[in-house]
Structure 1
Amino acid sequence: MKNTLFTFLCLLLVSTAFPQTYEAESGTLSGGANIQSCSSCSGSNQVGYLGGPTNGMVSIPVSVNVAGNYTLTIYYCTADPRTIFVTPNNGVYTGINCAASGGWTTVDSTTTDLALNAGNNIIRLDNGQGGYGPNIDKIKLQQSVTISFGSGNSIFYNLSTGTYNVSFGNKQLIKDAYAVCNSDAAYSSYTGYTSRSYSSASITDAFGNGTKHIITMNGSGLLQMQQVFYTYSGKDYFFTEVLLNGNGSNCYRMSPLTTAKVTLPAGGDMRALNVPFDNDAWVRYNALSMASANFTGAEVTGIYDNTSRNGLIVGSVEHTTWKTGVTVTGNGASSLSNLTVFGGFTSATVTRDGRGHGWVNVGGTSCKSPKIFVDYESDWRTAFETYGSATALAEPRYVSSWTHGTPFGWNSWGAVQSNLTLAKATSVVDFFANNCTTFRNSDNTLYIDLDSYWDNLASGGWTGDFSQLTTFVNYCKSKGFKAGIYWAPFVDWGKNAGGTVEGTSYQYQSCWTKVNGSPVDLDGARAMDPTHPATKGRIAYLIGKFKACGFEMIKLDFLAHASLEADSYYDNTIHTGMEAFRKGMEYVSDQLAGTMLTYAAISPNLATARYVNMRRIACDAYKDISETGYTLNSTTYGWWQKNIYNYIDADHLVFSTEPLAENRARMTSGIVTGTLITGDDYSTTGAWTTTAQSLLQNQDLLNISRNGNGKAFQPVEGNTGDQPNELFTTTIGNYQYLAIINFGSAAKTYTINLARIGLNPTATYSAVKELFTGVTSTASGSLNVTVPASDTKIYRITF
């Protein structure tokens, strides 16, 4: 037993080693380097004139007992930003950026990591670029733990300071990161802890074979802290989390990654992406200029150069306990002065919360943060898709994946809305059965979905006669279609305190979610406690009625109401909004029992994925070009959610009486997002019926969604702020598809570099077909296209 435990917990142990400090003036000076007085420097001296035309340098002899990797801290003075070159043992130098310290006698510090030999070594400091480096006060060496991952990537953990650096290849992107936990007291990995040790263990999980690396920190009067890193064979990313152990370790905020020093290779168009928590209230993603970025977004961010596409993605892959925030503060064109990823995020405008985050692991003796994903790739879009896939692995689906065809169909909220009747609903079925006969998915069917006001077909309301609904379902089946229904399981629209909750004997007021003693209203509806037996009873009752009617699809709306932080929950083991959300959604899923295609509307962007097959990417959108643009802002920056949902959706495609050009754009928004759910009132005849018969029966367009399994296109560019990208692309078999949407009020000419969309720029493509018009052409090197105002073109390029 002891041997097994030892193997599991302690394959390698490194204890804290005492740091070694060397004054710069103790080294050998050459070139123009000289010693200057400095009252604030240790030893009252510093070495200056490093670099310059005389190539001033200082070579400092150091000695270490053990060969390995060391963290080098450089203490310097400079009035302006400068670079110092660090060369160990006449080997390969590393250029270290040194921010202005505040003056030539004001000391600041920076760190890097280097390999040293056992015994004597020489560390040379200079500036090989012809410019001057900063003045150097001293250097400090501390043996660091080196955690290698992927192809030449490393985490260097400084056991002396409780901080870590992260390098991808030869690029050190993150410096001096640390962990912070907020319980009854604040705990920081770099403060107070007097003992730090490293251990590792082999692991095998959904990500493959890997290693769990644990830094354990202890200090007098402090709860034990553990910083954990997970690395996997063949994976160029890693995960990190922090734990607080001991009595009283419950927390309301935990950050395994906080740093004031993030530097990316300078690029032509540096961006930081602000990601929303949900898709409510017409919220938008925003790819801000990195220099001006100053936000706290939800769950994940991307920091990237849109020109080269190099990008760093950092975000949570766990969403069942914590709401995770990501704070980003730009500091110049390619660096950040703050990157903080933390569990415990709440905001009135982002997470819709009216109070602080609940406490995690109340009464327990070990509290864990969310697990954070960190990846840097040559294409930020690929890194985001990797993040999406990692999220799906970290939190496996609670419901089965959808194995049938990409959903095509109709939803009543697009145009019919409150005017819904059985006659209208069956007339819509007739339109698709008789007048739009080739608008079908790969299963040769459509989903005909009754949205809000479906209870117009239930005599006596939710507790009344559902026979008209059963008639509707059977009518859909008779035409080869599948019937869908709509419901918001966690809201009370009536707000009737004395009203009885359907299917139970409880009054509604008993199950309202409360903040500071008052019920919570959001979007005009009152939130209900997802853990309360009244809420559960109503869910079981109505889903039971829907199943009895024979519905095969359900659209679940206003799900974010279940994720709200509350004063308390009926289930006293639940203390956070995301814990309550998990309880509520698991109960809904259990009642559905896999009988329906499950579609989420307003809901948390990431946490909902475990419980549904399909999710609307944005909020309500209807018909004109501005609403198409709103939807495609979310597709531009959230397309990667295709890797955690079976499908993402552009909401009902309403044509109405808009110009054909705008209708083509609206149709395109569905194609590039994934599914095709239309929304006009097809129980009547108008311009929309003719448009539908044309656009919804264009087989070249439908085949994109059929053959591509409804997967969203990638954006070509990611530098559009809170607006949509104009170019989207995907590969299906031997076809490269390119969608171009002109959101402007005037015609626009595009010259599209084929390499930018993933094609061979030296090849000639002889089969380039525009799918709305059927016109064919050739392309080589670039594609030159003029798109009319508020219009779109979709090209299929055969390769």
Structure 2
Amino acid sequence: MRIIRNISFAGLLCMTYGNILAQTVTPSADSLVVSNADLKLIVDSHTGRVSYLFSNGVRLQNTIATVEELNNGKLSSTDFSQHKYTTTPMQDASGRGVTISIIHSDPSRSLKLEQHITVYAQSPHLLLDVQATGDATLESRNISPLTIIPEQQAYLFVPGNAPRILDVPFDNDNWVPVVTRQWPSASGISYEFTSVYDQHSLSGLVTGSVTHDFWKTGFRYGAAKETGRIDSFIVYGGAATADDKSLPPAYGGLDGTHDHVPHGTMLGKTVTSPLIYLAAGTDTRKAFTTYGQVNVQLAGRSEWKGDAPFYWNSFGVEGVLGNTRVMMPPGVIKTSDFIATLDNFNKYAPPVLSVDSYDQSIYTTSLLTSLSRYGQKKRQQMGFYFIPFAVWTWKNSLDNPVGGTQTPLSDVVLRDKNRQPIMYKEGDWACYPIDPSHPATKASIIQQLQKAKAIHATFIKIDFLSAGALESSTRYNRNTRSGMQAYSEGLKMLRSLVDSIMGPDVFITQAISPMFPHQYAHTRFISTDVYSHLRDDQPGFPHWGSTAASLAAGSHMWWMQGTLWPFTNLDVIVMKSFQNNPELTEQEIKVRLYAMMVMGSILGDGSDFRQKIAAERAKKYLNHPAVCAWFSHPVAFTPVSMSDGDTQDQQMTFFRKGDTTLLAMFNFIKDKPFDASWQTADVADKRHYEIRDFMTDAVLGEISNGQSSFTLTVPPKDALLVKLVPRD
């Protein structure tokens, strides 16, 4: 077997010189070894397998790359007879390092695989992909830059007494939870990113896709009997999964991509996988933050200058505003009048009157313009809601034109493998996904944005975006070959239209949507709509949309604030009741408010302030000076203990260091107090502190100089937010 080693002398000097770059590259007849303080990577020259040994004990042994090509079938890197490698010094926004190229070839095969692995000198993360290249055109809907399967004597191992696998749904629809899976029976698919880590130490592995312009990326896992060991771990572009209502929502039922068609194929003489981030360290929270930063380095993000928006949203009052006559236009006027009385709520960005889904026969463009002008006199802005990539209409009424066009919906709707229209949301009143590449879709978006401009909107909520990412057997633009490609191009088009029609200073929040691409909005819902009741299993309330469920998901997504988006969005709080749900207690409102704070969420409210109790509570909570000051520049707290499993009985802790350190503790257990223990060194310096309640400023205790730990008790179904105030 022929082995080629191509490592320049200058490159070696660059990688090993002094203390600047502590990286070594060691070739031999049998292997290539690249190492730094965090990692040793070994390429087996005989088999082409790659092993990753991290300093925290995480190990990925005998990994391979694979591609399923429509004409050649499934091929793995070990199916080729020759494995040649080269190394090239590199530098990008993450630092200096070396890129390893491993070419797997065979004289008997018409294509070759080429893996690329970038190892940084002073960072524990890597970037890796694989591409298939041939003389003839290749076509694939499944390609994996990292595969672990038992047939290759391969495994992934994470040390620790309580290992977990983080399982993330593809989007934030259907109130599907983010769950952590335990040994020995854990198996499933996480989408776009995952983590395998120890629940107690938070040491472990983080991996995720950092390119989102063609592939939906899946992380298919299967745990071994040995605790901490995974025998099957396949990272692949081409995830397209159907809903299966016979299964629990988070376990294959509704957590996938909702597709009715296999993933679209990449076509060309070169087919490339998604670029994958891979990192391991003693603190997976740092690895997740870096993951977010790498996504931004590659794709950018939307920035927001000035204070974060405060907004009122009509959906908390009525599902379709005006449709059931719950709130007619005079009610919106009264809402505007009341908001104007909240001096602290009005102290920062002008509050937004955000009309959500609305009855267009009542809330006409002319009427909305009048409301906008009324609000402007009270230093208020107008918000606007629309659905760019889907149409709600009566079932089977596909002959009706798409709004703003003469094109029938039947020409624009996405279609299943039998070329039948896909129903994104089923029912007599149904939601149909439309093709982001179709000119009628663009024309419809233009019409909506012109309406938003006419009413002087400065805040846009876009919803049901996942419809645009669905795979389809037909498309207007035949060069758009996958759902994610269509969605990515559609979002880019949408943002360009917003900027050109409405101007650059329009705040965009995504509601139901995939997590990526992230760069076209300023924030995104962490979970599906939140109704502010404490738990999903609460009698009298819907079994979804609770504070417990939304924060459980958010506890694994806190890192997105400040990386992917300037802010997160944990939906609106309500002061009395969400639509027709039962009345909330003040304790539930306080817990909900604290959950929004720790997630770095913008402040939104969905209350009917015509109700006396809602108005009185708003004065206490929404107009609280410290609350308003925080939400003017919200920042996510760092979790100490995140949600575990899929139960509602979660106990979670968070902290935010600053001039005044804040500690947050949540106890969603119904009948037991939560003794939250803190290590002083983790959250404070060696000083004397008073522990004060965030809302009341009451002294709850103190931390003496040199005290190593302290405990705070949270009653059942409650939360505690405190500040550490230095006293010397």
Range into which the TM-score falls when normalised by the shorter chain: 0.7 to 0.9
Pick from 54, 71, 77 the counterpart of residue 168 of structure 1. 54
**1:346 lines up with 2:240 in the alignment:** yes
Q: 3-state SS of the aligned residue for 2:350?
A: coil
Q: Aligned pair count?
A: 650
**1:408 lines up with 2:408 in the alignment:** no
The residue that corresponds to 2:178 in the other structure is 285
CA gap of 1:191–1:520, structure 2 versus 1, over 3 A, is same
TM-superposition CA deviations, 1:556-582 (whole Å, max 9, x none): 000000000100210110110000001
**Cα distance in 2, alignment partners of residues 785 and 456 from structure 1:** 54
**1:637 lines up with 2:556 in the alignment:** yes
Q: Give the TM-score, by structure 1 length.
A: 0.78
1:187 Cα offset (Å): 4.6
The residue that corresponds to 1:467 in the other structure is 366
CA gap of 1:263–1:204, structure 2 versus 1, over 3 A, is closer
The answer to whether the 8 Å contact 2:64/2:146 transfers is: yes
The residue that corresponds to 2:620 in the other structure is 694
The answer to whether the 8 Å contact 2:223/2:231 transfers is: yes
The residue that corresponds to 1:484 in the other structure is 383
In the alignment, structure 1 segments of 5+ residues that lack a partner are: 1-8, 14-113, 119-141, 460-465
Listed as ranges, the matches of 1:135-150 within 5 Å are 143-148=30-35, 150=36
Q: What residue identity is the alignment partner of 1:437? A: D
CA gap of 1:615–1:170, structure 2 versus 1, over 3 A, is closer
The residue that corresponds to 2:296 in the other structure is 392
**Cα distance in 1, alignment partners of residues 305 and 207 from structure 2:** 31
CA gap of 1:115–1:480, structure 2 versus 1, over 3 A, is closer
1:765 Cα offset (Å): 3.9
Name the stretch that deviates more: 379-388 or 494-503.
494-503
TM-superposition CA deviations, 1:578-597 (whole Å, max 9, x none): 00001211111111002410
**1:617 lines up with 2:541 in the alignment:** no
The answer to whether the 8 Å contact 2:56/2:203 transfers is: no
TM-superposition CA deviations, 1:59-88 (whole Å, max 9, x none): xxxxxxxxxxxxxxxxxxxxxxxxxxxxxx
The residue that corresponds to 2:642 in the other structure is 718
Pick from 424, 433, 443 the counterpart of residue 331 of structure 2. 424
1:639 Cα offset (Å): 1.6
CA gap of 1:240–1:190, structure 2 versus 1, over 3 A, is same
CA gap of 1:668–1:633, structure 2 versus 1, over 3 A, is same
Which structure 1 residue ranges, 4+ long, deviate > 4 Å from structure 2?
9-13, 114-118
1:379 Cα offset (Å): 0.9
Listed as ranges, the matches of 1:73-112 within 5 Å are none
The residue that corresponds to 1:203 in the other structure is 90
TM-superposition CA deviations, 1:748-778 (whole Å, max 9, x none): 1414122485345xx4542211113321120
**Identical counterparts, % of pairs:** 25
CA gap of 1:751–1:587, structure 2 versus 1, over 3 A, is closer
1:784 Cα offset (Å): 2.9
The answer to whether the 8 Å contact 1:159/1:197 transfers is: yes
**1:597 lines up with 2:490 in the alignment:** no
Listed as ranges, the matches of 1:266-665 within 5 Å are 266-331=159-224, 332-348=226-242, 349=254, 350-360=256-266, 362=267, 364-397=268-301, 400-418=302-320, 419=322, 420-434=327-341, 436-440=342-346, 443-453=348-358, 455-459=360-364, 466-495=365-394, 496-516=397-417, 517-523=419-425, 524-593=430-499, 594-607=504-517, 609-626=518-535, 627-642=546-561, 643-656=563-576, 657-665=583-591
**1:151 lines up with 2:37 in the alignment:** yes
**Cα distance in 1, alignment partners of residues 25 and 99 from structure 2:** 23
1:782 Cα offset (Å): 3.3
The answer to whether the 8 Å contact 1:163/1:189 transfers is: no
Q: What residue identity is the alignment partner of 1:602? A: I
1:146 Cα offset (Å): 1.7
The answer to whether the 8 Å contact 1:424/1:683 transfers is: no
Q: What residue identity is the alignment partner of 1:158? A: D
Q: Give the TM-score, by structure 2 length.
A: 0.85
**Cα distance in 1, alignment partners of residues 261 and 441 from structure 2:** 22
> Which structure would you say has the larger Rg?
1
1:241 Cα offset (Å): 0.3
The answer to whether the 8 Å contact 2:53/2:60 transfers is: yes
1:475 Cα offset (Å): 2.0
TM-superposition CA deviations, 1:240-273 (whole Å, max 9, x none): 1000001232211010101144454531211110
**Cα distance in 2, alignment partners of residues 172 and 698 from structure 1:** 46
The answer to whether the 8 Å contact 1:165/1:172 transfers is: no
Q: What residue identity is the alignment partner of 1:788? A: P
Q: What residue identity is the alignment partner of 2:456? A: G
**Cα distance in 1, alignment partners of residues 416 and 303 from structure 2:** 36
The answer to whether the 8 Å contact 1:274/1:297 transfers is: yes
The residue that corresponds to 2:109 in the other structure is 221
**Cα distance in 1, alignment partners of residues 306 and 647 from structure 2:** 33
CA gap of 1:756–1:278, structure 2 versus 1, over 3 A, is farther
1:372 Cα offset (Å): 0.7
**Cα distance in 2, alignment partners of residues 765 and 456 from structure 1:** 62
In the alignment, structure 2 segments of 5+ residues that lack a partner are: 10-23, 243-253, 536-545, 577-582
The answer to whether the 8 Å contact 2:25/2:34 transfers is: no
Pick from 713, 717, 720 the counterpart of residue 790 of structure 1. 717
**Cα distance in 1, alignment partners of residues 278 and 140 from structure 2:** 23
CA gap of 1:718–1:729, structure 2 versus 1, over 3 A, is closer
- Higher relative contact order (CA closer than 8 Å, sequence separation 6+): 2
